[in-house]
Amino acid sequence: MPPILQKAVQASESEAKATSKSSVDASLLKAFREIVKEVIQEENNGLRAEIKQAICPLRIALDECHDKLRSHEEGLNSFDARLQAMETRYANLNSDYKKLQEKTDDLENRGRRCNLRIIVVPEGLEKGNPTQFIAGLLHDVLGGS
């Protein structure tokens, strides 16, 4: 073979080797990428499963907290309504008490105004019957027939 032809064959052989080497490198790189992709996918799926398992008890606890909170809110609303009713009743009773106190004071004052006060008569002379004693005293003092 002529040297130029030999050089051309060697060049084409080296090109073929280089091409086959680059195709092998490309196929290895592609295979490596696929393996890495599968490993990452498996890890991702495993982590998702772990997260789902960890979230389940948290959801249950959160639901229990929501139920308790709802119950407490209902209780507080009930207590608030009862407190408002009691405050209204207290205001009404306090108003009634003031009216009755004023009425009692007025009746006591009116009762005192109608009483006679006799001075210079010692206490205890009526002996348990003041009406009869006063009638007799006035009859004696004013002179009755």
- The percentage of the chain sitting over the pLDDT mark of 70, rounded to a whole number, equals 83
Is the pLDDT confidence value at 1 over 60?
no
Shortest CA distance to 134 belongs to which of 116, 114, 113, 110? 116
**Which has the minimum average pLDDT: 23-27, 76-80, 97-101, 106-110?**
23-27
Close Cβ partners of 7 (under 8 Å, ≥ 6 residues apart) = none
pLDDT at 145: 62
